[in-house]
Amino acid sequence: MHKYSVRCPTCGEMQDPMSLICSKGHDALLRTFYGASQLIPRNIPGIWEFYDWLPVDGIIGEGTGKTVTYKSEAFARELGLSDLYIAFNGYWPEKNASMMTCTFKDLEAFPTMQRLLERQDRRIMAVASAGNTARAFAHVCSITRQPLLLVVPQNSVHRLWTLHEDTSSICLVTVEGDYYNAIELANKVASREMFVSEGGAKNVARRDGMGTVMLDAVLTIGKLPMHYFQAVGSGTGGISSWEASLRLIQDGRFGNVLPQLHLAQNLPCAPLISLWANNVADQSIVDRKCPKDMYADVLFNRKPPYSVVGGVRDALQATGGRMYGIDNAAAANARQLFEELEGIDINPAAAVAVAALMRAVEKKFIDRNDSIVLNITGGGMERLHRDYNLYNLVPDMRVSAHDPEAELKIVGKVSEKFKR
């Protein structure tokens, strides 16, 4: 058998490994199956430690980081928990944490770009994002020199900093207009033939990359935890940790009970909570108000992969999971407490997960001696800004979302820049 195969969970049919959809048309997230049934960590840098369970046939050696899992003392004591592990994704030199764009989006960007490299796919990666995903792809493409088109809303351009002085492999387009228009335009451009789109939750490289958070946690703890806490927008990280847990059960050495998923969103912009509670009325609030005034606007996602087979609903049902709605004040409060006690700055999205854990303790959804993994999806950004000289990406072009020529203008700019 090849290192891995990609199959449809509905019909079991083998698929082209790069495919995002079932060839028989089933509405399901394709899933990877690995030849190696046991997880043996490799002595290679960063995320590639989990090489055997990543859908790649090679590595990008430079610039990757991985999750660092450690047992919490101060914050755990404050909450009265005896077995709390922090899965830290970001920059924290004292803990050897070196995810240099400071969020776990790095974990999807590296395997995704490695797959294009090994297929000698010359198409241009196109990423529509309001922030962390764009930064992660900019980082990896600055290293590999693969061409990248980033389309971002004008008002999130400040999030696009990088460690690399030479960013000539990146074409950055900013879009004036509201957030929806910007994302919509980006998706239209990305669906053209010369581009390949990152694929979101449908991309197995993205999910298996994010699943390494659970792999790292379990190798550190020595067994599957009882609970997994994460802040979600699309919920892809939740799906990924469920899938990783299924593989870890198959491995046979880490227990046979799936960790319960505890997924948190930032109120009131929380479509997954409405879907899980079957509350369609909330959707109109989301449409009118969001993502304005969110504490963690990276968590906003209008169309999360909820009801697709193998999506968020299945992950929550399979694990007996829960959803948490966290308001801005609770998130801010959780952030302050965590930062004070653990001694590292965290991303606003991660603070939403911390607040969910505090809520679960308070409501006695979990027992004080339960083993818990808290995914800090982003952290150490302030620390990195102190330690490094960072460069802001300079836009190559600005377009208005209402310009009927916008799409063509972007394509023209890309062709000119990358001589395609």
Asked if residue 99 lies in contact with residue 90, where contact means CB atoms within 8 angstroms, the answer is yes
DSSP-derived secondary structure letter, 281: T
Closest to 233 in 3D by CA, of 208, 197, 264 = 264
Least distance from C-beta 403 to ligand PLP, angstroms?
29
Least distance from C-beta 392 to ligand PLP, angstroms?
19
Closest to 308 in 3D by CA, of 375, 248, 232, 234 = 234
Which amino acid would we find at residue 196? V
Q: Which is nearer to ligand PLP, 59 or 346 (CB)?
A: 346
Least distance from C-beta 107 to ligand PLP, angstroms?
10
Q: Which is nearer to ligand PLP, 231 or 372 (CB)?
A: 231
CA 43 centroid distance within chain? 24
**CA 420 – CA 412 distance, rounded (Å):** 10
Spell out the alpha helix ranges (H) of 128-227.
Answer: 132-144, 179-190, 204-221
Q: Which is nearer to ligand PLP, 201 or 399 (CB)?
A: 201
- Give the nearest residue (CB) to ligand PLP: 237
Asked if residue 90 lies in contact with residue 379, where contact means CB atoms within 8 angstroms, the answer is yes
Least distance from C-beta 382 to ligand PLP, angstroms?
14
Q: Which is nearer to ligand PLP, 128 or 231 (CB)?
A: 231
Q: Which is nearer to ligand PLP, 235 or 268 (CB)?
A: 235
Please report, as ranges, the residues that interact with ligand PLP according to CB under 6 A: 103, 105, 132, 231-238, 298-299, 347, 349-350, 377-378
Least distance from C-beta 105 to ligand PLP, angstroms?
5
Q: Which is nearer to ligand PLP, 148 or 352 (CB)?
A: 352
Q: For residue 120, what are the contacts with CB-CB under 8 A and spacing of at least 6?
A: none
Least distance from C-beta 360 to ligand PLP, angstroms?
18
**CA 362 – CA 92 distance, rounded (Å):** 29
Asked if residue 290 lies in contact with residue 328, where contact means CB atoms within 8 angstroms, the answer is no
Least distance from C-beta 351 to ligand PLP, angstroms?
10
Q: Which is nearer to ligand PLP, 173 or 231 (CB)?
A: 231
What's the token pair of residue 33? 């199956």
